[in-house]
Amino acid sequence: MKNKVRFFQSVNFKIAFSFILILLISIEIIGAYFIRGLEKETINNFTNDMNQRVSILSNSLGTTMSQKQGTDTSWEDIQQLLENNSASDIEEMWVVDDKGIVRATNDVGRKDSIVGKKNEYSDIDDFSMKQYVALDDDSNKRVYINVQPIQSPTGDSAVLGALYVKSDIEQKYTEISDTAIIFFTASLIAGVISMIVALLVARSITKPIEEMRQQAIKIAQGDYSDKVEVHGHDELSQLAETFNKLSDRIEDAQDTMEAERNRLDSVLTHMTDGVIATDRRGKVITINEMALSLLGVKNEDAIGESILTLLDLEEEYTLRKLLEAQEELLLDRSKSDLEEDRMILRADFAMIRRESGFISGLVVVLHDVTEQEKTAEERRQFVSNVSHELRTPLTSVRSYLEALDEGAWQDEEVAPEFIQVTLGETDRMIRMINDLLNLSRMDSGNQQLDLEFVNFNELVDYVLDRFDMMITNQNKKYTIIRDFTERDLWVEIDTDKIMQVIDNIMNNAIKYSPDGGKITVHLLETHNNIVLSITDEGLGIPKKDLEKVFERFYRVDKARARKQGGTGLGLAISKEVIKAHKGSIWVESVEGKGSTFSFSLPYEPYEEDWWE
């Protein structure tokens, strides 16, 4: 963009050069005609003048020679005549008699060596008239040779001799070439001046163009701050004005685009779904915050990466397959098998098509469906659990009834036992269905808590008293130890439900404890909670199951729990009840040593005189 235009390639140079070229060609043509005309004129003038002078001289020579024919005085007169007629432009002048003997010359210095001798010039030999320009061998100058026969002025026109004149025509040529030199010097000066003028004119044209070019470069770099200066009202200034308007328009369009992009960016940033856009080769060009956090990658790592690699799909899919399928995919992005690391993403794919139908990229929308998937899976699990749990007691009821039907009813020993078992199983099923109904009510939020202020110490005492009473009825022996805070703890609870929770935990403690085990019940308060924990000396719960005992139908040892008449729903219900009270429930256990189930409830200590 910034590359400089070389001077010889510039418009500046081209305009100036053409200007000068035209000028030089014109000067050359004019000069050639002028010089040629001048030369013709000058040389013609010179030769005409010379011819005339020579002809006049030869006439007077003819007269003199015919009057004083053959006498020495006549030759002297003739010599005198030549000397008189000699001029600066005449180099040599001879008069030859009819025998070819030189009789007179204008060159006084060489007179003696020439006069009386045979002439040296063959031009004179035939006494005819000759007029021509020749190059003089001695002086190496151009000379005009003029040979004129000298005739007697009388009627017979007899040839008396010849006049030979060699004149210096070279000076005329020198004059012409001097004029030519002046002419060319003048045209050279004119050339230089016009070159400067041309450069100035060209600059005045190219300067605004160069300014516009610079401005265009700036615009290309996104700088709209400058404007091209507008001088005058010519086409270039109109172009500059249009250019400035164009620059404004581009700036406006750029601003609108920028605003649009910002809006899109902020929409993308604040979207709760992850959005990824790729180019047509599937390389990521845009990715929003949500997508980055869902995929656990950094922006700089994601940009330019293939979408297939980013989503771990390169083994199953090619880009073409993905484009053709255009389906939604479930991506398992779980970091480990742990529940908290689980992550399921739903990816919806859409192609970006131009109006021409050309596919220019791909948009992927990522949605975190971990919870949905978990719920769906739980629901499936729950239905399968319920069916399974109900089928087992039903199967056993059915087999007992079959046995009875087949005649066992008549057997007085087994019949009552069989009937007892079927009744027990039916009771368990009823219990289970009641539990399920309870849970379902709590799930749907239909269960209202019947809150009242209760002295919690008394409530726990009351429940434990009942268990103490039951010891005598049961075949399993146990001891309940109470370790309560001395302070009366008043809490706002749904008494029946909380009693159900304590019952549950106590029942489990007894159920899973060995005969004669100790059950310790602690009641204490913290700053804003009360905590009830029930510790048994039972078989305990393996570490891996600790979290799961609060799940529906979860039992550590299924067969054994069932034998104990458990439904696997007790702790699940307890958890829901405590949750509804905004408390929490947890378990600590050492396998083989025993377990501690605890729950806490919110509690506000009140001043003693609050009631008064």
Interface residues with ligand ADP (CB under 6 A)? 504, 508-509, 512, 536, 538-541, 549, 554-557, 561, 566-572, 595
Crossing angle between the packed helical segments 170-220 and 11-67, to the nearest 10 degrees: 170
Q: How far is the CB of 552 from ligand ADP (least distance, A)?
A: 8
Residues 6+ positions from 177 with CB-CB distance below 8 Å: none
- Shortest Å distance, C-beta 505 to ligand ADP: 7
Min dist CB 542 to ligand ADP, Å, is 9
| C-beta of 245 vs 548, nearer to ligand ADP | 548
Residue (291 or 460) nearer to ligand ADP, CB: 460
Contact in structure between 510 and 547 (CB atoms under 8 Å): no
Closest CB to ligand ADP among 232 and 514?
514
By CB neighbour count within 10 A (0-12 exposed, 13-18 middle, 19+ buried), where does 167 fall? buried
Of 149 and 538, nearer to ligand ADP (C-beta) is 538
Least gap, CB of 565 to ligand ADP (angstroms): 8
* Min dist. Cβ of residue 517 to ligand ADP (A): 10
Least distance from ligand ADP to the Cβ atom of residue 318, Å: 49
Six token digits for residue 84: 């008189």
Given the complex with ligand ADP, which of 418 and 478 has the nearer CB atom?
478
Helix (H, G, I), strand (E, B) or coil at 157: coil
Q: How many residues does the chain have?
A: 612
Shortest distance, position 534 Cβ to ligand ADP, whole Å: 8
Q: How far is CA 35 from the centre of its chain?
A: 69
Closest to ligand ADP by CB, 532 or 561: 561
Closest-approach residue to ligand ADP (CB): 566
Evaluated on CA atoms 503, 507, 508, 513, the torsion sign reads positive
Helical H segments across 444-521, by residue range: 456-470, 495-511
Residue with smaller CB distance to ligand ADP, 43 or 546: 546
E-only strand ranges, 241-397: 274-278, 284-287, 328-332, 344-353, 359-368
Q: What are phi and psi of 455, to 5 degrees?
A: -80, 105
Q: What distance in Å separates the CA atoms of residue 447 and residue 518, rounded to the nearest whole number?
A: 35
Q: Show contacts of 396-405: CB within 8 Å, 24+ apart.
A: 396/421, 396/422, 396/425, 397/422, 397/425, 397/426
Whichever of 80 and 384 has its CB closer to ligand ADP, that residue is: 384
Least separation in angstroms between residue 543's CB and ligand ADP is 13
The minimum distance between CB 581 and ligand ADP, in angstroms, equals 18
Residue 501 beta carbon to ligand ADP: minimum distance, rounded to whole angstroms:
11
CB proximity list for 415: less than 8 A, separation 6 or greater: 404, 408, 409
Contact yes or no for 587/530 (Cβ under 8 A): no
Beta strands, E only, 354-486: 359-368, 451-455, 478-484
Q: Return the SS3 of 107.
A: coil
**What is the enclosing helix (H) or strand (E) of 148?**
strand 142-151
* Residue 230 or 546 with smaller CB distance to ligand ADP: 546
Three-class DSSP category at 538: coil
Q: Which one, 294 or 572, has the nearer CB to ligand ADP?
A: 572
Residue 446 sits at φ, ψ, to 5 deg, of -80, -20
